[in-house]
Structure 1
């Protein structure tokens, strides 16, 4: 605008004193200042150039009036002008605002957002608006965040989704269930949406619709934590419980009257129409983003993760489950893959034989690399994970098929382990064999962790390459190979201890994988309960000897810790080993700078017994230090 005196300045008479102090001092004395108390008093002609110094509350009536009369409007910072800046990023400093207006040659056409005829300066929200905004509106203190999290946690049991049907301008219909829906022009217009997607440097005549649809309390918790601790937009895109649509208009209906807010003002209606009116208002400013001029606006619909079909019926108007239950289509692909893995195929038989032979050779050769190779070859993990899915969903066919394949694999391993043992003239218990003869509760922990990893890798194709690492961790075939060696040697202790390790791995994996599939939503709890209880029962039974063995291990380590380095009359105990615990058989090297006679040996034994408070058998090696 070339001549600033062409403007008519419009202000609220009720705030005239504040206006005088903050604005009038910056105005040229030749400007005309028109005071008014209501829109009805306005007598400015159409096509006027007007400056507004008004609060948000006055703009809801004034802006539509300005559009109707084709005014070119400039906005001056007002103490109560807050929501306006959400959709109009104009200067908030009076000097900067005046300079911006002076430098503007041509008014910019700006889009306006309306909901059921109401002007929207910030956002429209329906559903649980408190859940979406409270966290962002509070201060950043840890105490405030903690109080918010606690208050929301107590309300989690009451959280439920409501059904909505959304129809875009081009006829795309979305039937879903949501905790809340937010409509904004610019993403930063709402505290809920400002961190979800990046702000563009250009304006498009499009409406941004964000649908919050967590399917479980765990996802609600994830959302709450993201509200508390996210300070900027995530580079990983939208969370899988949020949908995003860009279009010019949205029509929303529901099975019941819709309660919604327009800039926090509550309304109730049978349907909602949220509309972008393109190029509606002439704004005197250069600060607005560049406007993209296009006759046709392309719609962007990102709703693949939202509830649909049967999932909507299961979620609406009832408390959310603790974990998300996948619908039939989401389960189908994983279920089909696991059903194939449960089959007794030719490749399974061949790999089982080769893995057993390789493991047995590695055990006799005391070679860890060879045994690791056998672990990678072993195909036993596949039917065990399939068995876990069968237990979870109480699918008798899958349980039967996986169990048959598992039994065939076990029998093959035992047979070829025995066969190779009989033709191998070796009877020594190597360290690799001995390592499989003392299973403890720690081995159960390994099995449980491996079961979680195996189930997750099978359910997520992008991490399936990690299955080799899972196979190495759990080591299913080596214990079976040692069991075969025990049968070949007719050694019950070797067979029973190694087979206990295999059973430990088996039941631990089944329980852990079943729980993992449950938490990933592959089955509702009421269907999985029976199978979980059975698996848990097996784990408890197997854990009894494991706890006893672990107690022995702890006792052994404590004895070694007490005796290692013990000094008795200038005789030091080194390399202490416990070869037997009932009766206690202690082996140690006695280090001295002179010969040790029988009396001294008796004194060492006596001191050890006093230290341990029990009788022992002592096996000693004498080392003379010179």
Structure 2
């Protein structure tokens, strides 16, 4: 179930009576509450309700048409536990299965948060690249896997996939900036660290001669793209369905992005240009594969909604600012 809270300004479109009418027509709505005069800025009423996940998108579309988003406000909150017979009946009455329902606004919010360039993003990506480089140089698959889990790059990649559906220029630029600047700084920091370690004798010139356990980082094989596509599908399906972080962790472990970037920096410092080029190619293949797969998933989901005549709350293209 998802908790819906609507701020309804007095004397404006999207008033409480209109919102209650929308909720009354939806079989997946339960626990409706009207708080008269509870809103302070802007002044008005607040309407709350619990919705079956499969009913959220249609309700949001109708509320947006009423002007609730423009003149008031709409808040969604996922409820982990709801003990109510009425809630169970509402979920049974709502069309479809909750696990397959898409709440587009929720998806936009999740991907938007992870698409921005931030200090935290750069630090986490840099640490992940350093760990990946250490794991490859020491021939330690465990350390490489740790770098995969730590890497935060899936957020901007998922945002780029959503951009194709939304045609959202600002989000595309934000995600591209996060990936470009983030990986640029991470690779540069890893190269500087590798050069310092080499100068101190911590990395011998023959450090890259025995990499039997981590060859997948720089060798682009026939299944590299297949793995990236499957990981992209799994990651986007997890985001669409609102699944927990467990599935996404599995996706991170499947793709060779951060370790490839880190190892490319080390190989370049040691002047092993074939392996450096292979690592960068591996990085590009995985990044492109994830974005393509995520885009296909979203396009198929949206096509399915349109074929079944279901309403979508996903807004169209935002104007560039």
Name the TM tier (shorter chain): 0.5 to 0.7
In structure 2, the residue matched to 1:511 is 292
| Partner Cα separation in structure 1 for residue 216 and residue 246 of structure 2 | 28
* Aligned residue runs from structure 1 range 137-536, under 5 A: 174=25, 305-306=94-95, 330-422=103-195, 423-424=197-198, 425-427=203-205, 428-429=207-208, 430-432=211-213, 434-521=215-302
Q: Deviations over 1:6-53 (max 9, x none)?
A: xxxxxxxxxxxxxxxxxxxxxxxxxxxxxxxxxxxxxxxxxxxxxxxx
Structure 1 unaligned segments of length 5 or more: list them: 1-171, 177-237, 242-299, 308-323, 526-626
User: 2:256, 2:282 within 8 Å by CA — same for their partners in 1?
Assistant: no
User: 2:157, 2:290 within 8 Å by CA — same for their partners in 1?
Assistant: yes
| Partner Cα separation in structure 1 for residue 274 and residue 218 of structure 2 | 8
In structure 2, the residue matched to 1:70 is none
User: 2:156, 2:179 within 8 Å by CA — same for their partners in 1?
Assistant: yes
1:304/1:393 Cα in 2 relative to 1: closer, same or farther (>3 Å)? farther
In structure 2, the residue matched to 1:553 is none
1:175/1:375 Cα in 2 relative to 1: closer, same or farther (>3 Å)? closer
What's the offset of the Cα at 1:479? 0.6
1:368/1:524 Cα in 2 relative to 1: closer, same or farther (>3 Å)? same
| Partner Cα separation in structure 1 for residue 189 and residue 225 of structure 2 | 26
What's the offset of the Cα at 1:364? 1.2
Name the structure with the higher strand share.
Answer: 1
1:175/1:359 Cα in 2 relative to 1: closer, same or farther (>3 Å)? closer
**RMSD (CA atoms):** 3.0
Larger gyration radius, structure 1 or structure 2: 1
User: 2:165, 2:299 within 8 Å by CA — same for their partners in 1?
Assistant: yes
User: 1:352, 1:409 within 8 Å by CA — same for their partners in 2?
Assistant: yes
| Partner Cα separation in structure 2 for residue 446 and residue 459 of structure 1 | 20
1:325/1:366 Cα in 2 relative to 1: closer, same or farther (>3 Å)? closer
Name the structure with the higher helix share.
Answer: 2
| Partner Cα separation in structure 2 for residue 397 and residue 414 of structure 1 | 25
| Partner Cα separation in structure 2 for residue 390 and residue 432 of structure 1 | 37
What's the offset of the Cα at 1:409? 2.0
Q: Deviations over 1:240-295 (max 9, x none)?
A: 69xxxxxxxxxxxxxxxxxxxxxxxxxxxxxxxxxxxxxxxxxxxxxxxxxxxxxx
User: 1:392, 1:518 within 8 Å by CA — same for their partners in 2?
Assistant: yes
1:509/1:378 Cα in 2 relative to 1: closer, same or farther (>3 Å)? same
User: 2:217, 2:256 within 8 Å by CA — same for their partners in 1?
Assistant: no
* Aligned residue runs from structure 1 range 8-23, under 5 A: none
The structure whose RCO (Cα within 8 Å, separation 6+) is larger is 2
| Partner Cα separation in structure 1 for residue 248 and residue 298 of structure 2 | 16
What's the offset of the Cα at 1:520? 2.6
In structure 1, the residue matched to 2:311 is none
TM-score normalised over the length of structure 2: 0.60
SS of the aligned residue for 2:217 comes to: coil
What's the offset of the Cα at 1:380? 1.0
In structure 2, the residue matched to 1:183 is none
| Partner Cα separation in structure 1 for residue 227 and residue 91 of structure 2 | 40
How many residues get paired?
Answer: 216
Structure 2 unaligned segments of length 5 or more: list them: 1-22, 28-51, 56-88, 307-321
What's the offset of the Cα at 1:173? 5.3
| Partner Cα separation in structure 2 for residue 453 and residue 465 of structure 1 | 11
What's the offset of the Cα at 1:175? 7.0
| Partner Cα separation in structure 1 for residue 288 and residue 191 of structure 2 | 24
What's the offset of the Cα at 1:478? 0.7
Q: Deviations over 1:456-507 (max 9, x none)?
A: 1222223432211110111311111121122212332122111110100011
| Partner Cα separation in structure 1 for residue 214 and residue 115 of structure 2 | 30
User: 1:380, 1:406 within 8 Å by CA — same for their partners in 2?
Assistant: yes
Q: Deviations over 1:215-235 (max 9, x none)?
A: xxxxxxxxxxxxxxxxxxxxx
In structure 2, the residue matched to 1:50 is none
What's the offset of the Cα at 1:412? 2.2
User: 1:325, 1:523 within 8 Å by CA — same for their partners in 2?
Assistant: no
SS of the aligned residue for 1:521 comes to: helix
